Chain A
Amino acid sequence: MLRTINKNQVLILSHIPRVPASVTSVLREISREFQIPLSTLKRNAQILKELNLIRYGDPPNFSGVELTELGRFISSLTASEEPTFLGNIVQTSSGFRPLGTVIKDLRKRVLRMIAEAGSGHLGASLSAIDILAILYFMKMRQDPSNPSWPERDRLVLSKGHAAPALYAVLAEVGYIPTEELTSLREMGSRLKGHPDMATPGVDACTGSLGQGLSIAVGMALAAKIDGARNQVYALLGDGELNEGQIWEAALTAAHHGLDNLTAIVDRNGYQLTGSTEDVKGLEPLADKWRSFGWETVETEGNDPASVLEALDTCDLTVGRPSVIIAHTTKGKGVSFMEGNSFSRKAPDDEELQRALTELS
């Protein structure tokens, strides 16, 4: 989130006039004037305050917002033309932490969860985890204390077999207690083999491949009908693109000009019985999406900065949906798991220890 402290935002917040009203009313003014969603401003202001970059009193003693000493220092650093990327510090359920460390921990969690459960799709979870982390920590508007908040952005994990990665991220964001993660696939657990809306933070029941994009289209349409600003993301597997329904949904989204919808294809190159090109070739994949009327961006899906940049690019698309073809490595992060060997195999004790050591 620190990346959002660029010159403009710091300046906006340092130039708030003295008003006898609440912070919200000030932010509402800014929202109107600069066409920035109120929720974004609120979130930014909250973070700036927590980072001790700005301060403001509570009503009725509110005396405007001002930069703290630290805030002035950062403002001076960022007074260049280019917004400064201050670092990948993200807000987690256990406080502000460096994104790199968070993602490494998420990989370890996923390994432990699947080892504990005795089954699960390890390779597909590890290839998707950087994308999920960037979405939840740096992109999506959400309130983990209120999972059904209508204004939240939504994620449909169409490749539902990557559920362990989603659960690990949801715990780190604060939707579910971290201790619950080890209950994966246990009878009665909220963390089922594939995503279920019974789990706080899970926006769609998936698991049957090919259906998630349609659900995301429905959510994006609902936002359009309501004139709401919700952004909808759908994370698709590449093998999943064998399903015809995906392409039905691709037509629908383009036809309705759903620029509030971004699909991300986790292009790890494998499906259960082999490489996607051996099983049923998808290439030229980007051309396919382009010809379906989608803004199409390719990126390195296991590089958080590239994923973020691609998502930012999609934010600017108007009048049509966007798709990011995220080139990833199945089993990413653990050398001996990369490729298709741990596609749906749980690590044994020895493999788990080796993997954890490698990630440390």
Chain B
Amino acid sequence: MQLQHASQVESLGRTLVALGSEREDIVVLDPDVSASTKTTYFAERFPRRFIRMGISEQDMIGVAAGLAASGKTPFACGFAKFVTGRAWEQIANSIARPKMNVKIVGTHSGLSGSADGDSHQTVGDIALMRVLPNMNVVVPADAPSVEEATRAIAEEPGPAYMRLVRGASPAVYDGGCTFTLGKANLLREGSDATVIACGVMVAMAQAVAEDLAAQGVSVRVLDMHTVKPLDVSSVVKAARETGAVVTAEEHSILGGLGGAVAETLVEAYPIPVNRVGILDRFGDSSRSYSELQEAMGLTPRAIAGAVMTLMEKRR
């Protein structure tokens, strides 16, 4: 079971099949990447409710809107770069504006399409989706949370964007995951600083907290799986109780989780904040995902450094 769910897209594929057998209104749209998004499982089980769109993300988003207007709950699953970027205005006008019940799933997000290079990587998809009124944005940490997140967005009426990575992601939730849309998961208590992370950076944040604990620094870790609506009370509570906040995401430090947290705190509880993420640049081609993460500064060292810098400042 654990092996089966190691990959986020694998978890997506299987959860969609489960949802499809529970609910007749679930339909899946595919812009010709079903082998990569694992919506092939749904296609095999429910061929009538699986719609092959060919390579046309803009049309796919419009078709999803029409299906939703007729009572369906469409999951439009494609590569994050194209489904959010190429079809952004279609999402804005045809889905977000009329609050259509469409679930957009972007896989291969962040740097996870490492070998394909920066044409296929996303540095700004969270920002693109977060800025749309009515849009919920979910970034699950690992395969088990993908299952819960998929169910949660299917349950919640209205538009949602779920951001997944290609391939296996390190496990955060071994013994099951509690997932409430808009409610951060407190993974580790701490009093000196808080790391607020999303997606694959959650596991890294946990490891950093573990290391720093050995050095006598007590770090709180929040899995901010829902970037929008942001769990403002958990963010403010962390700021008030720990006095220093670091954000960690595999996304530009502009406009994503770091942006959301900084915007919130600067108004609600101004304290020093450090954002770990991609520094306003595109990625690169690399045969190794972790090599690329390292090169782009998405490392445990960067998170630990950010925590220590804030603690220095406080002194």
Contact = CB atoms under 8 A, between A and B. Distances in A.
Interface stretch (A4-12, A164-172, A244-252): A244-252
A225 B62 contact: no
Interface of A is mostly: helix
Contacts of B303: none
A291 B72 CA distance: 31
Contact count band on B: 20 to 34
Contacts of A216: 66
Given A214-B59, A214-B61, A252-B59, A219 B66 contact: yes
B47 to A, nearest CB: 11
Contacts of B71: 150, 222
A215 B93 contact: no
A243 to B, nearest CB: 9
Given A214-B59, A225-B49, A249-B62, A196 B98 contact: yes
Nearest to A245: B58
Interface stretch (A31-39, A175-183, A202-210, A310-318): A202-210
Contacts of A230: 70
Interface of B is mostly: helix
Contacts of B65: 204, 214-215, 218
A219 B69 contact: yes
A117 interface: no
Contacts of B59: 214, 217, 245, 248-249, 251-252
Interface string A343-356: 00000000000000
A206 B98 CA distance: 10
B51 interface: yes
B264 interface: no
B101 interface: no
B66 to A, nearest CB: 2
Contacts of A218: 62-70, 74
- B53, B62, B71, most chain A CB atoms within 10 A: B62
B255 to A, nearest CB: 23
Interface of A: 150, 154, 156, 196-197, 203-208, 211-223, 225, 230, 244-245, 248-249, 251-252, 255-256
Given A218-B64, A219-B70, 19 more contacts: A197-B69, A204-B65, A205-B94, A206-B93, A208-B90, A208-B93, A211-B58, A211-B93, A214-B58, A214-B59, A214-B60, A214-B63, A215-B63, A218-B62, A219-B67, A221-B63, A249-B63, A252-B54, A256-B51
14 contacts: A203-B69, A205-B97, A208-B89, A215-B65, A217-B63, A218-B62, A218-B63, A218-B66, A218-B70, A221-B51, A230-B70, A248-B54, A251-B59, A252-B63
